[in-house]
Amino acid sequence: MRELTYASAYAEAIREEMERDPNIFVLGTDIRIRGGHFGQLKDIGKTFGHKRVVDTPISEAAMVGMSLGAALTGLRPICDLNFEDFYLGAMDEVVNQIAKVQYKFNGQFKCPVIIRASSGAARSTGPQHSQSFEAWFAHTPGLYVAMPSTPEDIKGLMKTALRGSNPVIFSTHKMLSSLKGHVPEHDYAIPFGQAKIVKPGSDVTIATYSIMVSKSLQAAAVLEKQGISAEVIDLRTIAPLDLDRIAQSVRKTKRLVIAHEAYRHGGIGAEIAASIGETVFDYLDAPIMRVGSKHSVMPVSPILQDAITPNQNDVIAAVNSVMEGVKV
């Protein structure tokens, strides 16, 4: 069984889909020669040439606007913005235009634009290169939001994005690039809106995604030694959100912790907590707890960055809180 890194699995998905569909092309800064700021698509320019791997000026509005126009003519652009923070230069194009095309034209035009960017805190990249905006995008009707946590999922979710007809915000965490994992050799796609139980458990549910999946699994291993069985659910996509899977787990465990790296204040965890409270409140034996970054501008100092972003100890503390008073 072969293993690939998260970054290699992403690149493999792009190459395979570009070979399958000649309408797919990639655009971004430094993408054709360098393969992007992180080398995420190294050598793709050599393979597919300048007509399908397009270098652009440093203008996010122009990149996303060009992607919109290309999609309306029947092409399938992958717009690579490098850092998620750079969306802010193109929010009108993303929220006011791309998200609303199908509604405005009564479904006569599809808008299969994939916008990829790296989210999250990493290596002291500071306040303007460390942000996570998934709650903002999930709040906008018309946008799909994928947040893969493993090499297998990044490939499968990207294939689904490239075979669909909807605009997709494809968020890859910087610190997952070198993560290795099993990736099937056969062709496969992972549907959006289907969360996965990555560790079964019976005492508490941990609903999470992206980099917090691995941290939650580390927390679950520690909790297991304390006699607490945690069920860890990888949400995979934030929009659509698989609330049924979470509710089903909570009916079994009676307790819920939600973990994400984005700010806890106003984060997607608040939406999940409210929705689960509305649907399965009678099953809960403890208040729902959320784990997320502290509400502060991200500092450059690595010590302060670590103090703001959540880790496995924060997940353990939240689980212990919901388990307080319960004999296990």
Asked if residue 173 lies in contact with residue 154, where contact means CB atoms within 8 angstroms, the answer is: no
Asked if residue 212 lies in contact with residue 29, where contact means CB atoms within 8 angstroms, the answer is: no
What is the side-by-side strand order in the sheet with 256-263? 196-199, 230-234, 204-208, 256-263, 289-293
Catalytic residue among 37, 50, 129, 173: 129
Collapsed DSSP state (helix, strand, coil) of residue 91: helix
Angle between helical axes of 151-163 and 6-20 (0-180°, round to 10): 30
User: DSSP assignment of 139-195, as one string?
Assistant: TSTT-EEE---SHHHHHHHHHHHHHSSS-EEEEEEGGGTT-EEE--SS-----TT--
- Residue 239: partners with Cβ closer than 8 Å, 6 or more residues away: 137, 138, 143, 144, 145
- Residue carrying the six token digits 């959320």: 290
Instruction: Confirm whether 129 is a catalytic residue.
Output: yes
| DSSP classification of residue 297 | P
Residues serving a catalytic function are 129
